[in-house]
Amino acid sequence: MTLKAYESMFFNEPAIILQAGHLEAIYLPARGGNLIALRDLRRGYRFLREPDRRQMDGEFQQNPNVFGIPVLFPPNRIDQGRFTWGDHTYTFALNEKQWNNSLHGILNTATWEIKGYGSNDEDSYVTGQILIDAEHPLYQVFPHKFAMEITYRLSEAGLTQEIIVENLGGDAMPLMLGFHTSIQIPFLPYRQKDHEYYRIKIPATKRYQLNDRMLPTGETEELSPFEIEMGQHGVKPYPLKLDSLYQAHTGDGFHEMCVLDDRHHVTLRYQVDDAFPFWMVWNHFGKPGLFCPEPQTCLVNAPNLDMPPTESGMITMDSRQVWKATNRILIELTSLT
């Protein structure tokens, strides 16, 4: 099996290409450290929604969050773009003006640096890093010195994501992290009608009630029969609109959601560290082509919720503390197409 990592271009963007046999992944450091593509070259599958040339100059510029695996820090929405935590009040840009929210944080469009890339006997890999300090423009928004490092490893089984966050400052900082993982359904983009053969399976314990601005009210709701079926046997991803926040099943170190192609017998298993106990699930208004299971360490608008950290998911990182988590996207193929 060929294992290699090398510099290249993704259209007009500098990229690191990872290869492991017939699997390929593409990483864009200057575009928010986005793992923009995960492909099966032998079968033509695209497991992540990736932009074409036209979209690179259009939709990707306007909304990069619907492609690849964007880093969300903080994840999803912050009410009025403001919260107070400890001695700091944080103010984020209101980029969801119709609801007066900030959306998806500050790292998804920032430039990340390449710390290293290469291959070994087991996988090919790339490590991206971003350092926020007093010299970085984002320090004005999030006034803490910290580093985040994400390593992507590609093997014949799939993709592994290793996350390390280190508080380099002298005071404590809040950690709120998620990923807007954008899965392509169907895996063969040119066969759009094949979405009818797909199921999504997301086990959840409860749903959080959202108000008309898509912010949690603090109340939870019982799962509907549809959502129970979604957790047990799986449901079709379209055309029903999904835009819901769930508590995940945790306790085994990781939990997973699955995308199943019943026609070609392909399963994508998204295994998520229990450090991400919440799922935001969005299916692009019920339109085939995009499905986003978004793991989050905390609830939407967590720092503004009147609930303890054990319930909201708010994490406090003390000075010099290091936080780690590992997620995986595994591909199971039981027959050739």
Q: Indicate whether this model's pTM tops 0.85.
A: yes
Per-residue pLDDT of the chain (337 residues; tens, 9 = 90+): 899 999 999 999 999 999 999 999 999 999 999 999 999 999 999 999 999 999 999 899 999 999 999 999 999 999 999 999 999 999 999 999 999 999 999 999 999 999 999 999 999 999 999 999 999 999 999 999 999 999 999 999 999 999 999 999 999 999 999 999 999 999 999 888 899 999 999 999 999 999 999 999 999 999 999 999 999 999 999 999 999 999 998 888 999 999 999 999 999 999 999 999 999 999 999 999 999 999 999 999 999 999 999 999 999 999 999 999 999 999 998 754 4
Report pLDDT for 334.
Answer: 74
- How distant, in Å, are the alpha carbons of 82, 119, 129, 244, 317 from that of 149? 26, 18, 4, 29, 16
List, in order of start, the domains of the chain with CATH numbers: 3-189+291-333 (2.70.98.10)
Residues near 276 by beta carbon (within 8 Å), at least 6 away in sequence: 177, 178, 248, 295, 296, 297, 325, 327
- Among residues 217, 209, 178, the alpha carbon closest in space to that of 76 is found at 178
- How distant, in Å, are the alpha carbons of 2, 89, 280, 299 from that of 207? 44, 29, 10, 11
Which helix H or strand E contains 217, and what residues bound it?
strand 216-221
Query: Residue ranges of the alpha helices (H) in 34-136?
Result: 53-56, 59-62
